[in-house]
Amino acid sequence: MEARLDTEICVIGGGPAGASLALRLARLGHEVCLVERQAFPRRHVGESLTPGVWPLFDALGVVEEVKRAGFLPALEALVRWEDTAERRVRGRAGEPGLLVDRGRLDALLLGAAVSAGVKVLQPAAAQRPERKAGGWELPVLHEGRWLLVSARFLADASGRTSCLGGQKVPVSARTLALYGYWRGEAPHGPETRVEAGPDAWYWGAHLPDGTFNAMVFVDPELLRERGIGRRTLEAFYRELLGRSCLLEAWTAPRLVSGVLACDATCYRDTIPIEEDCIKVGEASFSIDPLSSSGVQKALQTALSGAAAVHTLLARPEHSAAALRFYTEDQRSSVEQHATWAAGYYREQRSYQDRPFWKRRALATPERLPQGMKEVKAVAGDALLHRRWRLAPEAVLVETPCIVGEFIELRRALSHPRLARPIAYLDGVELAPLVEALSEGVTMAQMSEAWAGHVPLRQGAAIMGWLYRQGLLTEVSASWTSVTATST
């Protein structure tokens, strides 16, 4: 008879999304078991992280561990994109991005989860989970014996394969990534390199172990047209690299790994959350590797997902808000990133008529809603002394938000110019502020009306944001007269 393990939450997959979700839920007081099929550390792509990961590392409480891990700072990038000229792009001031050993980073996050009380089964082969009355059952082969894991809630962090299945909707042209690891003498430092080619784009970076990961992103159809199979993949990969500048300045570069291929197509799962299960990381959606934000998005889904799961389990009366929040958050992230990626592909001018580039520039660019005009800049003094009110199209609507550790409904500002309703700006609830703008006020009057809600400097910044977003309408003298007469 197989052994049995009962737990409140079972997380399948120990990558950044799964480990972070398990870590956060354990700290929120839940009993969590995590099942990971591979032993750590293990090599994994996704080694370039943007500076946007630091606030997420901070939320997970692992900043100091990451800083001590010996990863390389990503201070700048050498880019050949719009044309054949090379540009050196430096990051913004503050914490730099990172070039990491993913095996070590993933092990670090999983270790933090263990320290928080998560029970980890690794390496462990999980079969397909089955939904039962009141929860889930998951047969797991661990240390040579079968174990039946029974859980009230299931989290799928198993990546693109997604152990829960479901429907994946493509949101980009199909893309294949070919990559391998190199060693040799190179004249440049640990910067990342990005380059556009006629029928592909290239990415490369030095890693903490001294290797260089060189990646080529191509249409899968190109391999089929050329009859490329496993035996000829390395020769094809070398041919494509030979058309780029990634290795041109190297002295005797040598490939020290096999050549691997992985799917890099963007997609989203149509049902990322239900009352007894959730999908996080690439089980929920995938974004274009152009942004180097895959790990960042995985951590974000883990943190927002933890709030949703915590709400479902601890405050079931708010289940509808939790489900809506996570679903809308996923769709908004996918849409915003698809628009950004398409715009970046459209910037390529040398090969813009090639099929590879035309397919990737197809996403609809952001446009103002019909009838909306561009916001015209107003000089500082004029902005201070004119009278402003909230634009007539702006309304307050109920929207789900993270409030502390839970998801709750809050009034949020909605407008056709905004991608989604906004309840908080810079930590300040907007609803009480915008209600004071129903009638025209100057900046001085606004400061007085908002004094009980927000400091003067922060209030001025919020007013400026409302103006730049086109959410304010200048009050004319005639409108003020009419209002005064009617009251």
Are 192 and 213 in contact, with CB atoms under 8 Å apart?
no
Q: What is the C-alpha separation between 100 and 41, in angstroms, rounded?
A: 13
Look up tokens 């500076």; give the residue.
51
Predicted local distance difference test score (pLDDT) of residue 436: 84
The residues that bridge with 263 in the sheet, in sequence order, are 176
Predicted local distance difference test score (pLDDT) of residue 480: 42
Predicted local distance difference test score (pLDDT) of residue 345: 96
Beta strands in 97-211 (DSSP E): 97-99, 119-121, 124-126, 130-132, 135-142, 145-156, 168-170, 176-185, 192-197, 200-206
Which residues of the chain fall short of a pLDDT of 50? Answer: 1, 365-368, 370, 372, 374-375, 477-487
What does the block give as tokens for 392? 């007539």
What does the block give as tokens for 163? 């152990």
Predicted local distance difference test score (pLDDT) of residue 468: 87
Q: 3-68+95-164+275-346: what CATH class?
A: alpha beta
Strand pairing of 124-126 and 48-49? unpaired
Query: How do the domains of the chain map onto residue ranges?
Result: 3-68+95-164+275-346, 176-263, 380-486
Predicted local distance difference test score (pLDDT) of residue 364: 53
Give Cα separations from 109 to 28, 48, 198 (angstroms).
Answer: 17, 16, 39
Predicted local distance difference test score (pLDDT) of residue 380: 54
Are 275 and 319 in contact, with CB atoms under 8 Å apart?
yes
Q: Does domain 380-486 have CATH number 3.90.930.60?
A: yes
* Sign of torsion over alpha carbons 62, 67, 73, 75: positive
CB crowding 410-420: b at 16 or more within 10 Å, else e: bbbbbbeeeee
185-200 residue pLDDT tens: 876 667 789 999 999 9
Strand pairing of 192-197 and 200-206? antiparallel
**pTM across the whole model:** 0.90
Predicted local distance difference test score (pLDDT) of residue 486: 41
User: What are the residue ranges of helices labelled H in 289-348?
Assistant: 294-314, 319-346
Give Cα separations from 51 to 55, 74, 403, 463 (angstroms).
Answer: 9, 9, 25, 28
Are 459 and 447 in contact, with CB atoms under 8 Å apart?
yes
Q: What is the C-alpha separation between 290 and 48, in angstroms, rounded?
A: 11
What does the block give as tokens for 24? 């956060």
Which of the four CATH numbers 3.40.710.10, 3.30.9.100, 3.40.50.720, 3.30.450.20 does domain 176-263 have? 3.30.9.100
52-72 residue pLDDT tens: 999 999 999 999 999 999 999
